[in-house]
Structure 1
Amino acid sequence: MPLNDLDQRIVHALAEDARRTYADIGAEVGLSAPAVKRRVDRLRAEGALTGFTVRVDPAALGWRTEGFIEVYCRSRTSPEDLERVLSGYPEVASASTVTGEADALVQVFASDMRHFERVLERIAGEPFVERTKSVLVLSPLVRRSLAGPPRE
């Protein structure tokens, strides 16, 4: 469902700061607070807005090590099997099936290098995993919420 320009501006304002008031957003986009609320309610009902959250520096929660694990699966491993198993790891921030040689790419946060190594070993030990390949993040360069249409 493509969003019109006004809805995109409201979504962008919420993505920058979801605690902004409807009146504040309305002043920015040229609507009343009740009109903004009706649009936000409609966007939630249509599934364009899936929730509101906070962004926290992982290090503030004790997650000082970040890495990505490429997972190479044995044949006949379904995305549902991957999702079921990987969602059981509290260290897994995201997991996606991908193109290329790997079957999935898993983002992991850990308290330190040894913790990351233990998570890597556990994932590599899952019955459907043939092998893994991992990289550690040295410095995150860009992290943002997407709040506008893709630029072409």
Structure 2
Amino acid sequence: MDHDTLDDLDQHLLRTLQLDGRVPFSRIARDRSVSERTVARRYQRLRTLGLRVIGRPVSSRLGLTRWLLRLHCTPDAAGAIAEVLARRPDTSWVTLASGGTELYCALNARTAEERNALLLEKLPRTPRVLSVSAHCMLRIFVGATSTWHATRFEPQSTAAMVDSGASAAAPLSLDTTDRILFTELARDGRATLPELAAAADRSPSSVQRHLDRLRGEGALNLSVDFDPQLLGYHMATRIWLNVTPAHLRIVGETLATHPQIAFAAAITGTSNLVANGIFRDPADLYNYIDRRIGRLPGIQSIETAPTLREVKRLAPAMA
């Protein structure tokens, strides 16, 4: 399927879902002067191409700490280790990079004991793991709503995408209905109120109140997963930056406005800012580094690592 077959209505639908994964089709239909049935058909067609709308808990609002793990493995073992990590319920994405010897993994840890069990016990004892570095995500500037973008799409609101590990708000307490809703929305973020009500054994009005509370409290994000290659982007790249402390926030917030960047976070470690960019080809990546990153203040060093394979992506944090 070539991205050129995605017409203006398809791309408007994708963009609108990126801004609000549960937006009514009737609103999109009014915006584009088409029938609601036409929008529903286009949505189902995009689903056959891999589109997913997923309800995801916001880690920091549930008392979870997010970590980025960077593993170096022998070439014959990286794929198998990535598959094992992908099966863990506390990982949200796993990717292979750098010739198949480097592996990145996002980990959601509720306690120090959960974190240490993996970092200090299991991984160090895993054969063919050559090194492990763990980076705590201090603040996520962008990355909670989508794995794709297109440069002609309007920038999203940064406030809607931030999952800040530094939030001062107390973790939100979840009841049984909340947990059922998270489970159902992880399967389909656009599940209807009657479907959610049946799963939770509650009335639709009660479910709507729960959804309003979870979204209003910043505990639920609706994420959009769509293959960037269908939009003409064939080069996903991890970008590690070392930024002077005085410029860290402004650089992170600036990256969040760049349509090339799907994820950016301030982290602990030698590189204090990490980003994931989606580019059309190597020339597009070069131009981005030269014309966008190169002009930002406080950049001391940059390291890039093209993604070879995404083993797991957009899995929900534990609720």
TM-score using structure 1 length:
0.85
1:8 aligns with 2:184: no
Cα distance, 1:16 vs structure 2: 1.9
| Matching of residues 22-101 of structure 1 within 5 Å | 22-50=193-221, 52-79=222-249, 81-101=250-270
| Matching of residues 112-131 of structure 1 within 5 Å | 112-122=281-291, 123-131=293-301
Q: Which letter does structure 1 place at the counterpart of 2:208?
A: K
Cα distance, 1:14 vs structure 2: 1.7
CA distance in 2, matches of 1:46, 1:9: 17
CA distance 1:24–1:88, shift in 2 (3 Å): closer
Which runs of 5 or more structure 2 residues have no equivalent in the other structure?
Answer: 1-171
1:105 aligns with 2:312: no
CA distance 1:87–1:43, shift in 2 (3 Å): closer
Task: From the two aligned structures, give the one with the greater strand fraction.
Answer: 2
Cα distance, 1:86 vs structure 2: 1.4
Cα distance, 1:125 vs structure 2: 4.2
1:135 aligns with 2:135: no
CA distance 1:22–1:147, shift in 2 (3 Å): farther
Partner of 2:192: 21
Partner of 2:164: none
TM-score using structure 2 length:
0.43
Report runs of 4+ in structure 1 exceeding 3 Å deviation.
Answer: none
SS in 2 for 1:63: coil
Which runs of 5 or more structure 1 residues have no equivalent in the other structure?
Answer: none
CA distance in 2, matches of 1:145, 1:125: 34
